[in-house]
């Protein structure tokens, strides 16, 4: 749909996008309008664990199209979400800022007064102002909803020209077959029992066809594989018969559903790649795939990583990331440099040869150096997390903060006297707490974390300490 809610004040402000950006290397701007900027497609899977794809060594799930995408581009082994739950990840993606700086550090409830402020110049706005047609298909989750009594700030207020199959009420517990619980106004378009992932995939292919003359920015934000777990029955049955679903009743019950949902997402990736090839747009399109946080460990296992969604252990924040752009990214490469989704904003801006608003602070750094050469160094060696909770998350996460510098990772609980230090090179599963043996490293990393919290304005809940 058209952006009818985009304010005149914000439009005027964004006409003056600045020429200076933070953390962006000098980048060549296009010399003339005859030079086409690349299309950008960002595909996001919800609650997809780091180890769920075949190209990340999963032997049960079937992801041939994503595995092929990894071989055609670059796969990141140490990519992170800026938070262990969904809304903060999405806020970081749209702004290039740490969630603590944005002010969204937990998932937003349907009646939440908090939202992504229109004072931020989002990735969609920057690209729109550079001549891109912008569209979101699927989950937004950066606002409360009018249907729940909240003031609503939909994608149209943040730079998206088209908003398709997106929510206007609470998402949790929503089934993935039409009619959709999260938006009862969506009309059925597919024959038979319409499945949500299939619908989003179809809409993505049609968006590409509509805007093939480009440039376009498509944010395909799947609701799957988030619980509620309900894949297409025929795919669930297929995986229920497949050996290797896991040990115990939980794994045998849940993994076939997760595998079925992921199979449908993978089929959509294949459809998108096929459409780009048909339109001769493969070399003109940046294609990115990732997840928004780790998988729920009550649903699946994130092994060899510890724990899952809602925690700052690796199982909650390490995510898959694949980038394909034949003109720059060498095929079949693997990058081990730690990255965060705050880096995607400046990276995609550099792909488009545009600069963020000079008034907007950018915490992320462009990944261009490592995308061209996976052994290159980034102008940053430390990553931070801030996850303040007034009470423990229902999935088990605690109010806490974390920092990674090199191979060392420090986790600090705000709601308990608990400090943990791990060397991820030797202990990716975070089983061996080295804090007692390395007090100097604890002091160093805790000091960095405290200074960073002051810089971004991160708040610790009352009655807790850090």
The full set of domains in the chain, from first to last, is: 37-376 (3.40.720.10), 383-456 (3.30.1120.10)
Average the pLDDT over each of 51-65, 149-163, 296-310 and give the range with the smallest value. 296-310
Is residue 18 scored above 80 in pLDDT?
Answer: no
* pLDDT tens by residue, 360-372: 899 999 999 999 9
Q: Is 184 exposed, middle or buried (0-12, 13-18, 19+ CB in 10 A)?
A: exposed
Instruction: Report pLDDT for 108.
Output: 97
Instruction: Report pLDDT for 17.
Output: 38
- The contacts of residue 123 (CB under 8 Å, 6+ apart) are 93, 94, 95, 96, 159, 217, 344, 345, 348, 349
Is residue 27 scored above 60 in pLDDT?
Answer: no
Phi and psi based region of residue 212 (left: phi greater than 0; alpha: psi -120 to 50; beta: remaining): alpha
* pLDDT tens by residue, 417-428: 999 999 999 999
Cα separation, 332 vs 324, in Å, equals 10
Structure tokens at 193: 């029992």
Tokens 């003339």 found at: 32
Instruction: Report pLDDT for 69.
Output: 99
Structure tokens at 292: 């928004």
Instruction: Report pLDDT for 383.
Output: 99
Structure tokens at 417: 């006297």
Is 266 within 8 Å of 225 (Cβ atoms)?
A: no
Cα separation, 121 vs 189, in Å, equals 34
Instruction: Report pLDDT for 386.
Output: 99
* pLDDT tens by residue, 123-134: 999 999 999 999
Is residue 120 scored above 50 in pLDDT?
Answer: yes
* pLDDT tens by residue, 227-247: 767 899 999 999 999 998 877
Is residue 19 scored above 80 in pLDDT?
Answer: no
Closest by CA to 161, choosing from 217, 232, 94, 212, is 217
Closest by CA to 266, choosing from 48, 38, 40, 74, is 48
Cα separation, 338 vs 409, in Å, equals 12
Q: For 313-322, what is the mean pLDDT?
A: 99
Cα separation, 164 vs 166, in Å, equals 5
**Residue 346's pLDDT band (cuts 50, 70, 90):** very high
Instruction: Report pLDDT for 428.
Output: 99
DSSP string over 334-385: EE-S-EEGGGHHHHHHHHTT----TTS-------HHHHH-TT---S--EEEE
Is residue 163 scored above 70 in pLDDT?
Answer: yes
Closest by CA to 95, choosing from 145, 161, 23, is 23
Pairing of strands 408-413, 339-340: unpaired
Mean pLDDT of the chain: 92
**Residue 285's pLDDT band (cuts 50, 70, 90):** very high
Instruction: Report pLDDT for 174.
Output: 63
Of residues 177 and 228, which shows the higher confidence score? Answer: 177
Average the pLDDT over each of 32-46, 187-201, 367-381, 399-413 and give the range with the smallest value. 32-46
């Amino acid at each position: 749909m058209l952006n009818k809610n985009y304010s005149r004040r914000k439009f005027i402000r964004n006409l003056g996008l600045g020429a200076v950006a933070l953390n962006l290397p000098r980048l060549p701007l296009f010399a003339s309008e005859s030079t086409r900027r690349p299309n950008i497609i960002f595909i996001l899977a919800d609650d997809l664990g780091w180890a769920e794809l075949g190209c990340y060594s999963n032997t049960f799930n079937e992801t041939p199209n994503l595995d092929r995408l990894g071989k055609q581009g670059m796969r990141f082994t140490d990519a992170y979400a800026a938070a262990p739950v969904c809304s903060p990840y999405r806020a970081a993606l749209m702004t290039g800022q740490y969630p603590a700086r944005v002010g969204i550090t937990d998932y937003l409830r349907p009646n939440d007064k908090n939202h992504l402020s229109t004072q931020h110049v989002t990735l969609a706005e920057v690209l729109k102002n550079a001549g891109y047609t912008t569209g979101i298909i699927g989950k937004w989750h950066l606002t409360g909803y009018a249907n729940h009594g909240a003031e609503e700030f939909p994608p149209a207020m943040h730079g998206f020209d088209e908003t398709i199959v997106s929510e206007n009420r609470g998402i949790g517990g929503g089934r993935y077959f039409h009619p959709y619980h999260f938006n009862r106004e969506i009309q059925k378009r597919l024959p038979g029992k319409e499945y949500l992932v299939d619908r989003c995939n179809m809409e993505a292919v049609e968006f590409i066809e509509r805007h093939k003359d480009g440039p376009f920015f498509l944010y395909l934000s799947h609701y799957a594989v988030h619980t509620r777990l309900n894949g297409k029955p025929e795919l669930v049955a297929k995986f229920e018969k497949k050996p290797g679903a896991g040990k115990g009743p939980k794994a045998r019950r849940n993994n076939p559903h997760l595998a079925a949902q992921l199979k449908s997402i993978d089929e959509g990736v294949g459809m998108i790649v096929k459409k780009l090839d048909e339109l001769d747009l493969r070399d003109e399109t940046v294609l990115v795939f990732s997840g928004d946080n780790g998988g729920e460990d009550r649903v699946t296992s994130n092994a060899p990583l510890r724990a899952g969604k809602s925690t700052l252990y690796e199982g909650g924040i390490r995510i898959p990331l694949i980038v394909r752009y034949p003109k720059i990214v060498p095929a079949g490469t693997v990058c081990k440099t730690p990255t965060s989704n705050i880096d995607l904003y400046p990276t995609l801006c550099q792909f488009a040869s545009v600069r963020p608003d000079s008034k907007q602070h950018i915490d992320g750094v462009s990944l261009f150096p490592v995308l061209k050469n996976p052994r290159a160094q980034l102008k940053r060696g430390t990553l931070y997390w801030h996850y303040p909770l007034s009470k423990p998350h229902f999935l088990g996460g605690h109010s806490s903060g974390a920092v990674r510098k090199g191979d060392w990772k420090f986790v600090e609980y705000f709601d308990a006297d608990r400090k943990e230090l791990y060397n991820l090179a030797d202990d990716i599963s975070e089983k061996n707490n080295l804090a007692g043996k390395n007090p100097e490293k604890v002091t160093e990393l805790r000091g960095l974390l405290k200074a960073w919290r002051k810089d971004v304005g991160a708040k610790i809940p009352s009655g807790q300490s850090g």
